C-alpha cells in the first residue's frame, strides 16, 4: 500500500527533524495519527474485499475514491456542492446577522430576556428534523424552503449564544464604560459585543453543524438537488460508493468549519478578560 | 448633620405604584406577555405568509382533542420514547467505557481523540440513507442512528472528566496504595461525574435529533410517522401538535438531567 510508504516517510522525517524533544513528541503524535488513519482505511478495505459477503456492495476507500473522480468528471458533485452551499449561505448569513443583533438587544434588556429567551430555548430544544416537513409544506421544496430551515436553525442558536455572551460580560467593564458616560447603544457595540464575541463564534460553530444536518435532511426529502439528494438517490440504487462521496464532503465541511471557528473562539476569549 | 441626598429607597413621589412594579418585574407575568406576543405574531402575521397551509394557534389548540383521540398517538409516543431510550442507554454505556479507555491508555488517546472530535463535528445524519441501504429497514438501523448521534458528546465529556481529576486526590490514593481498579471506581469515576452528566445532557439532545431523523427517514414510525401522515393530508395543525409533543419530551428530558446535574454538583462541592 502506498499509504504505508507515506507513513514510513513521515516517521523518518519526524526522526530526522526531531532534535527538540517537544517538537519530536508532536511529530510522533502526528505520525501515530496518520498511521491510525491508514490502518483504518486498510482494515476497512480488507474487510470488505476479503471477509464481507452480501448481495450489497459496500463502499471501500478505493471504490469511494473512484466514485469521487467519476462524480467530478460528470459534474454532478460540483453542481450539488454549489446547490447545497447556496442554501447554506442564503439562510446562514442573515441568520447570523439577525441572531447577533437580536441577541445583543435581548441580552442587554432584562425584561425582554425574561419574556422571550425561554421560548427561543424551547424551540432550540425541539428535535429540529421533526420540523422540516412543516417547513417544506410552508415554504416549498426550493431554495427558499431550505434557506428558511437553515435560517431558523442558525438564528436560534446564534441568538441564544449571544444572549448568554452578553449576560456573561464582566460587570467591571460595564461599570467603567458607564462611569465614562457611555450611552447604551455605544456600550452594546463597543463593550458588550466584543466581550461576547467568543460566545457568538461558538454559536456560529454550533449552528454550522445544525445547518449542515438541516440541509442534508431537507435534500433527502426533495431528492432533487444538492449533496443530500445525491446521497439519497445513489443509496436508493444501492450504489453506495457514489452515495458515500457527498457524505465525506459534508463531513469535511463540518470538521473544517469547526476547527477554524474553534481557533477564532480562543482568540476572542482573551477579550473577555481584564488585563 | 448633613442633608446630602442619599441613594435610598425611592420616595412615594418618584416610585411607580407597587402593583405596577411587581407586575413588570415578576418573571411569570413577563413570560406570559412574551408568549402572548409570540402567539399574536403567529396568529396575525405568519398565517398570511401561506394561507393554504397556515396554522394559527387557535386552530392548533382546536386540533389537540382530535389528536388525543387518535388511537395511534399514544402508541407513537411510546415507540418514540422506546427507540430513544434504547439508543441512549447503549450510547451512554459505550461513551463511558470508551471515554475512560481514552483517558487510561495514552496511545489510544493520541491515536483516536482527534478522530472522535472529527466525527462529533461532522453531520452524521448524512449517512442515514447509506446505513439504511446496508442494514435494511430494521429497528437495529434506527437504534444505530440514535447511538451514533448520542455517543460522542458523552464519550468526549467522560474523557475530559477523567483527565481533569484533582492531582491531590490521585496522590492520596496512590500513597494509600490503592489498586488500579479501585482507583478508577472510587476516585476517577466519581470525580468525573459532573462531566458525565453534562455529556449525558448534550447526548440526550442529539439523541432526540437522531430519533427524529430515524423515524422520518428510515421506515417511518412513532411520532415521526405521525408527522409524515398528517403532512400527506396537509394537516398543518395536527403536524404542529406532534412536533410540540417532541418538544415537550425533549424539554422534560433536559430538565430531568438538569436536576441530576445540580445534585451531582452539590455532592462534588461538599466532598472537596
The string of DSSP letters for chain B reads: --------SPPTTTSPPHHHHHHHH-HHHHHHHHHHHHHHHIIIIIHHH-TTT---HHHHHHHHHHHHT-TTHHHHHHHHHHHHHHHHHHHHHHHHHHHHHHHH-HHHHHHHHHHHHHHHHS-GGGGHHHHHHHH-SSHHHHHHHHHHHHHHHHHHHHHHHHHT--HHHHHHHHHTT--HHHIIIIIIHHHTHHHHHHHHHHHHHHHHHHHHHHHHHSS--HHHHHHHHHHHTT-HHHHHHHHHHHHHHHHHHHHHHHHHHHHHHHHHHHH-
* Per-residue confidence (pLDDT) for residue B40, from 0 to 100: 84
Instruction: Judge whether A26 is closer than 8 Å to chain B, CB to CB.
Output: no
* Per-residue confidence (pLDDT) for residue B8, from 0 to 100: 44
Residue A51 grid coordinates? 471477509
A225 SS3 class: coil
Which residues, numbered 117 to 136 in chain A, qualify as contacts with chain B under a Cβ-Cβ cut-off of 8 Å?
Answer: 118-119, 122-123, 125-134
CA distance A7 to chain B (A): 14
Sign of CA pseudo-dihedral A121, A125, A129, A134: negative
Q: Which own/partner contact pairs does B162-166 have at CB distance under 8 Å and 24+ positions apart?
A: B162/B99, B162/B100, B162/B103, B162/B104, B162/B188, B162/B189, B162/B192, B162/B195, B163/B103, B164/B192, B164/B195, B165/B191, B165/B192, B166/B191, B166/B272
CA distance B245 to chain A (A): 9
What is the domain partition of chain A in residue ranges?
Answer: 2-53, 69-272
The answer to whether the beta carbons of residues A32 and A14 sit under 8 Å apart is no
* Per-residue confidence (pLDDT) for residue B10, from 0 to 100: 44
Interface confidence (ipTM) of the complex: 0.84
* Per-residue confidence (pLDDT) for residue A141, from 0 to 100: 83
Angstrom distances, CA of residue A95 to CA of A17, A157, B140? 47, 9, 36
Nearest by CB to A130, from B111, B243, B251: name it. B243
* Best residue of A130, A134, A204, A243 to probe chain B, by most B CBs closer than 10 Å: A130
Could you list the mean pLDDT of each consecutive 10-residue stretch along chain A, which spans 275 residues? Answer: 47 54 82 91 88 80 93 93 94 96 92 90 90 87 90 95 90 87 85 89 94 93 87 91 94 95 88 68
* Per-residue confidence (pLDDT) for residue B131, from 0 to 100: 92
User: A-chain residues within 8 Å CB-CB of B52?
Assistant: none
* Per-residue confidence (pLDDT) for residue B125, from 0 to 100: 94
User: A-chain residues within 8 Å CB-CB of B115?
Assistant: 36-37
* Per-residue confidence (pLDDT) for residue B51, from 0 to 100: 63
The nearest alpha carbon in chain A to B133 belongs to A235
Nearest by CB to B247, from A115, A126, A251: name it. A126
Nearest by CB to A247, from B37, B127, B208: name it. B127
CB atoms within 10 A of CB A238: 14
A169 SS3 class: coil
* Best residue of A129, A137, A216 to probe chain B, by most B CBs closer than 10 Å: A129
Topology adopted by domain B70-271: MetI-like fold (1.10.3720)
Report which secondary-structure segment, H or E, holds A200.
helix A193-222
* Per-residue confidence (pLDDT) for residue B14, from 0 to 100: 46
* Per-residue confidence (pLDDT) for residue A204, from 0 to 100: 95
User: A-chain residues within 8 Å CB-CB of B242?
Assistant: 130
Angstrom distances, CA of residue B118 to CA of A206, A257, B114? 14, 11, 6
Mean per-residue pLDDT of chain B: 84
Nearest by CB to A250, from B27, B53, B122: name it. B122
The answer to whether the beta carbons of residues B158 and B195 sit under 8 Å apart is yes
Which residues, numbered 189 to 208 in chain A, qualify as contacts with chain B under a Cβ-Cβ cut-off of 8 Å?
Answer: none
The nearest alpha carbon in chain B to A227 belongs to B126
User: B-chain residues within 8 Å CB-CB of A235?
Assistant: 129-130, 132-133
* Per-residue confidence (pLDDT) for residue A48, from 0 to 100: 85
Angstrom distances, CA of residue A131 to CA of A126, A189, B68, B212? 8, 34, 20, 9
Residue B242 grid coordinates? 406532534
Cβ-proximal residues to B210 (8 Å cutoff; 6+ apart), any chain: B87, B125, B145, B146, B147, B148, B149, B150
State how far the Cα of B238 lies from the Cα of B228, in Å rounded to an integer. 11
- All residue ranges of chain B with pLDDT < 50 are 1-14, 270-272
Q: Please give the class, per CATH, of domain A69-272.
A: mainly alpha
Beta carbon pairs, A and B, within 8 Å: 154
* Per-residue confidence (pLDDT) for residue B213, from 0 to 100: 94
* C-alpha closest to that of A130 among B105, B174, B159, B244: B244
Amino acid at each position: 500500500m502506498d499509504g504505508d510508504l507515506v507513513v514510513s516517510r513521515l516517521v523518518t522525517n519526524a526522526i530526522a527533524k526531531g532534535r527538540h524533544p517537544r517538537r519530536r513528541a508532536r511529530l510522533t503524535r502526528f505520525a501515530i495519527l496518520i498511521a491510525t488513519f491508514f490502518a483504518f482505511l486498510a482494515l476497512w478495505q480488507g474487510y470488505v474485499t476479503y471477509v464481507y459477503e452480501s448481495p450489497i456492495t459496500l463502499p471501500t476507500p478505493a471504490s469511494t475514491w473512484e466514485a469521487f473522480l467519476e462524480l467530478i468528471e460528470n459534474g454532478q458533485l460540483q453542481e450539488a456542492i454549489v446547490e447545497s452551499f447556496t442554501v447554506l449561505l442564503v439562510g446562514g448569513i442573515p441568520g447570523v446577522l439577525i441572531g447577533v443583533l437580536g441577541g445583543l438587544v435581548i441580552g442587554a434588556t432584562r425584561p425582554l430576556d425574561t419574556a422571550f429567551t425561554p421560548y427561543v430555548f424551547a424551540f432550540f430544544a425541539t428535535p429540529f428534523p421533526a420540523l422540516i416537513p412543516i417547513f417544506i409544506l410552508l415554504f416549498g421544496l426550493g431554495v427558499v424552503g431550505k434557506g428558511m430551515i437553515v435560517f431558523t436553525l442558525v438564528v436560534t442558536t446564534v441568538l441564544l449564544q449571544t444572549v448568554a455572551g452578553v449576560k456573561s460580560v464582566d460587570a467591571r467593564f460595564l461599570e467603567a464604560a458607564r462611569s465614562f458616560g457611555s450611552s447604551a447603544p455605544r456600550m452594546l457595540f463597543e463593550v458588550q459585543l466584543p466581550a461576547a464575541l467568543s460566545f457568538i463564534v461558538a454559536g456560529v460553530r454550533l449552528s454550522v453543524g445544525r445547518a449542515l444536518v438541516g440541509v442534508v435532511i431537507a435534500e433527502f426529502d426533495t431528492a432533487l438537488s444538492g449533496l443530500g439528494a445525491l446521497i439519497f438517490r445513489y443509496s436508493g440504487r444501492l450504489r453506495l460508493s457514489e452515495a458515500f462521496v457527498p457524505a465525506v464532503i459534508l463531513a469535511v465541511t463540518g470538521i473544517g468549519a469547526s476547527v477554524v471557528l474553534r481557533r477564532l473562539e480562543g482568540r476572542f476569549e482573551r477579550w473577555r478578560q481584564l488585563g | 448633620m448633613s442633608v446630602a441626598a442619599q441613594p435610598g429607597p425611592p420616595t412615594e413621589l418618584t416610585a411607580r405604584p407597587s402593583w405596577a412594579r411587581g407586575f413588570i418585574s415578576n418573571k411569570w407575568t413577563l413570560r406570559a406577555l412574551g408568549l402572548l406576543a409570540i402567539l399574536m405574531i403567529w396568529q396575525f402575521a405568519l398565517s398570511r405568509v401561506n394561507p393554504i397551509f397556515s396554522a394559527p394557534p387557535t386552530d392548533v389548540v382546536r386540533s389537540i382533542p382530535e389528536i388525543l383521540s387518535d388511537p395511534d398517538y399514544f402508541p407513537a409516543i411510546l415507540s418514540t420514547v422506546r427507540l430513544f431510550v434504547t439508543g441512549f442507554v447503549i450510547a451512554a454505556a459505550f461513551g463511558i467505557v470508551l471515554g475512560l479507555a481514552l483517558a487510561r491508555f495514552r496511545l489510544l488517546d493520541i491515536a483516536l481523540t482527534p478522530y472522535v472530535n472529527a466525527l462529533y463535528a461532522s453531520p452524521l445524519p448524512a449517512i442515514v440513507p447509506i446505513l439504511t441501504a446496508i442494514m435494511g429497514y430494521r429497528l437495529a438501523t434506527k437504534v444505530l442512528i440514535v447511538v451514533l448521534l448520542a455517543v460522542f458528546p458523552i464519550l468526549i465529556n467522560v474523557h475530559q472528566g477523567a483527565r481533569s481529576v484533582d492531582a491531590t486526590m490521585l496522590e492520596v490514593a496512590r500513597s494509600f496504595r490503592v489498586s488500579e481498579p479501585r482507583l478508577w471506581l472510587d476516585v476517577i469515576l466519581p470525580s468525573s461525574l459532573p462531566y458525565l452528566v453534562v455529556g449525558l445532557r448534550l447526548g440526550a439532545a442529539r439523541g432526540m435529533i437522531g430519533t427524529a431523523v430515524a423515524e422520518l427517514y428510515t421506515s417511518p414510525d412513532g411520532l415521526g410517522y405521525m408527522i409524515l401522515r398528517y403532512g400527506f393530508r396537509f394537516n398543518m395543525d395536527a403536524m404542529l401538535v406532534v412536533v410540540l409533543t417532541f418538544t415537550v419530551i425533549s424539554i422534560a428530558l433536559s430538565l430531568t438531567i438538569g436536576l441530576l446535574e445540580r445534585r451531582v454538583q452539590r455532592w462534588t462541592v461538599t466532598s472537596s
